[in-house]
Structure 1
Amino acid sequence: MQFKLLAVGAVSVLALTSAAQAQDMAALEAAAKAEGQLTTIALPHDWCGYGDVIAGFKAKYPEITVNELNPDAGSGDELEAIRANKDNKGPQAPDVIDVGFAFGPQAKSEGLIQPYKVSTWDTIPDDAKDAEGFWYGDYYGVMSFGVNTDLVENVPADWSDLLKPEYANSVALTGDPRSSNQAILAIMGSGMAKGAEPGKDSAAKGLEFFAELNKAGNFVPVTAKSATIAQGATPIVMAWDYNLLAWRDALNGNPPMEVVVPSSGVLAGVYVQAISAYAPHPNAAKLWMEYLYSDEGQLGWLKGYCHPIRFNDLSANGKVPQELLDKMPPAAAYERAVFPTIEQQDANKAAVTEGWDKVVGAAVTE
């Protein structure tokens, strides 16, 4: 990725100003309301502020029922849900997906998604979207550590610290590294911290790191969530900063939780949106995308500690409230962030999913 976190650039806004565009939007709204339903998948309410984002969409379009499938699913599960429901127009067929950056091209190549360019298309960075409109970036954050400071006296500052004996039975991922994008990219970050370039090398070094972590008895093969942090089952969790910050707020000091951006291997991760090629409610799906990429939808993600993909444009036009920026970690913490390319993520993903069992051999369970 070529765009920089918190950078501000002058980008023109493609607004619905002409009568023709307004008419098209009115027609889309009417068609979506006639369908009456939108089926989402893998959208936990504490992920990126999705609870409030979904509530905002419902408030704006009360005629459309939002059917939420499997909130804790991973990106691979989302694609499988489309494959499994190609001929199913019932409530188990997702209309839209929100997946890791590397899963967008995969879904396109398999014919699982359909193109649609939102009204604010021109304000999405070119290197964060498919030129034909099959998928487009929605938000990003950096891989960080969430630490239960009731149980961890010395907060780790970097990946290498996690190997210390004092962190026995303490370190966990947020999913299965064979299918969860967040877990796959945590492995990339750990490999980058060992000096590897993003891609196949970062996967090799990352798997080596996790093998060491597992052999040392520090790795906990449990899918970490805010509840497992609160229970003390996963005192240290590797996850996106926005998830950890949201969990910290929800825990409200019980237990106290610190969020740390590591000193090295600072990995920025972009997620993307797409519409299923077999969406039972295609117009509701398009309207959902219009909402997500509107100023209101983008700022909804920022409230959830995610940097929306249109952040530069919103900043350039003075549309980002300072109080939202004040709640984010200092900008300096992100200055070393690396945005891997699609090709690098694909290479890392393939090597991680194929090598996890052989190299690490720890089955991550719910």
Structure 2
Amino acid sequence: MKLTKTTFAVTLSALMATTGMVSAQSLAEIEAAAKAEGMLTTIALPHSWCGYGDVIAGFKAKYPEIQVNELNPDAGSADEVEAIKANKDNKGPQAPDVVDVGLAFGPTMKAEGLLQPYKVSTWDEIPESIKDAEGYWYGDYYGVMSFIVNKDLVANTPADWADLLKPEYAGQVALAGDPRASNQAILGVLAAGLSKGAAAGEAAGKAGLEYFAELNKAGNFVPVIAKAGTIAQGATPIAIAWDYNALAWKDELAGNPPVEIVVPKTGVLAGVYVQGISAYAPHPNAAKLWMEYLYSDEGQNLWLKGYCHPARFNAMVAAGKVPQELIDALPPAASYEAAYFPTLEEVDANKAAVTGGWDAVVGANVQ
């Protein structure tokens, strides 16, 4: 019997309330409904970010009946939020079904009514500290802030944040995003603040702003959003980015130019991103099926192949579900030992300080 949307929603809601998971039968119903919808609309998923190229290809191969409509791959977390708001009443191809945003954006999107709850079948293996108890958002992967350096242009690789202030790096240092909108850049500022000894949260955000103001005044900061192309062209010889992005860019550049990636000695910051389904998703069942794929063993290992530590990493390693070659491809484990995982409150406080103070304190129009 074909379930109506109302009957299906009630059945699924009752099931999750009693078990916190989705049964195999419910997954079959979701899959059938998703295939009937025939489309999934994503946003802000560059193929080089966290292995998303392989992830999307894997989803397409498993569900060829579902077209993947990719919106604005280079968008930031704030852009994703605005895309949902702008398309609340639009069921067309410009309305995102799903989002992948920085940790701080999950709770705010829930509070604004922009997300709908859904608990994937592997819910119990997602750490409690990085998921909403009601299933509105949940952590997907994490990495640490790093420097990627064009060795054709930079003779001495900087080892720490303080090094970037040296005169030899004039006109060479960039963030991989606009710190007024990009979660990656916002947390890059937090990491810089931590390196100055500030406590995580508002204090580190303000200290990070002061650091970038100093970097900008010295003439070392470049107001260009860094990516593989700008690194290769010499526009941003030193880029501050998540380690998984830096490693993916290194693969993309394939030695032309040669690059070096370092995790700074201080201010080692771990950043968690989260998934969510738009409350206004035109294809809600395709969105749920996408989530199931992302949090399956296959999806998690594809993220790891893209140099990201997936949410279920510890549970999967314990169960022997992670190929050793994927672990070996990551930076040495010691690089992560000093990593600081900020609390949600600290991330929120930092975000408010950075987005609210960048223009006044730093005054560099990053674009």
Out of 205, 222, 225, the residue aligned to residue 223 of structure 1 is 225
Q: How far did residue 175 of structure 1 move?
A: 1.2
User: Residue 342 of structure 2 aligns to which amino acid in structure 1?
Assistant: P
2:271 pairs with 244, 264, 269, which one? 269
Distance 1:303 1:36 in 2: 28
Which residue number corresponds to residue 149 of structure 1? 151
Q: Which residue of 1 is the match for residue 136 of structure 2?
A: 134
Give the match for residue 233 of structure 1: 235
TM-score (norm 1): 0.94
In the alignment, the residues of structure 1 paired with residue 47 and residue 291 of structure 2 have an alpha-carbon distance, to the nearest angstrom, of: 18
Pairwise CA RMSD of aligned residues?
0.9
- Shift in Å, 1:23: 1.5
Once residues 49 and 24 of structure 2 are traced to their aligned partners in structure 1, the CA distance between those partners, rounded to angstroms, is 32
Structure 2 gap segments, 5+ residues each: 1-21
Alignment-derived partner of residue 13 in structure 1: none
Q: Structure 1 vs Structure 2: percent identity of aligned residues?
A: 76
Amino acid in structure 1 at the alignment position of 2:265: S
Matches within 5 A, 1:304-323: 304-323=306-325
Inter-partner Cα distance in structure 1 for 2:136 and 2:248? 30
Deviations 1:78-128 (A, max 9, x none): 000000000000000000000000000010010000000000000000001
Q: How does 1:298-309 map to 2 (within 5 A)?
A: 298-309=300-311
Deviation at 1:316, TM superposition (A): 0.5
- 1:68 corresponding residue in structure 2: 70
Q: Which secondary structure state, in structure 1, belongs to the residue aligned with residue 272 of structure 2?
A: strand
Map of 1:200-349 to 2, 5 A cutoff? 200-349=202-351
- TM superposition shift of 1:21: 2.1
Distance 1:317 1:329 in 2: 22
Distance 2:336 2:125 in 1: 22
Match of 1:198 in 2: 200
Q: Residue 266 of structure 2 aligns to a residue in which SS?
A: coil
Tell me, what secondary structure is at the counterpart of 2:74? coil
1:303 & 1:278 partners in 2: Cα distance? Answer: 31
Please state how far the C-alpha of 1:356 moved relative to its aligned partner: 0.3
Question: Which residue of structure 2 lines up, in the alignment, with residue 109 of structure 1?
Answer: 111
Q: How many residues align?
A: 347
Structure 1 SS opposite 2:273: strand
Give, in angstroms, the shift of residue 326 of structure 1. Answer: 1.0
Match of 2:8 in 1: none
C-alpha separation in 1, matches of 2:212 and 2:290: 38
In 1, Cα distance between equivalents of 2:272 and 2:25: 33
Q: Give the TM-score normalised by the residue count of structure 2.
A: 0.94
* 2:9 equivalent in structure 1: none
1:26, CA displacement in angstroms?
1.1
* Deviation sequence 1:160-189 (CA, Å, 0-9, x none): 000000000000011111110000000000
User: Aligned AA for 2:288?
Assistant: K
Partners of 1:76 and 1:204 lie apart in 2 by 20
Residue 327 of structure 1: how far off its partner (Å): 0.7
Tell whether 2:189 aligns with 1:187: yes
Give the CA deviation at 1:234.
0.3
- Equivalent of 2:53, from 32, 51, 54? 51
Q: 1:21 matched to which residue of 2? A: 23
Per the alignment, in what secondary structure is the counterpart of residue 297 of structure 1?
helix
Runs of 4+ in 1 over 3 A off after TM superposition: none
C-alpha displacement at 1:60, in angstroms? 0.1
Letter in 1 for 2:142: Y
Query: Aligned equivalents of 1:300 and 1:111: distance in 2?
Result: 31
Q: Unaligned 5+ residue runs, structure 1?
A: 1-19
**Which range is displaced more, 174-183 or 88-97?**
174-183
Q: How far off its partner does 1:337 sit?
A: 0.2
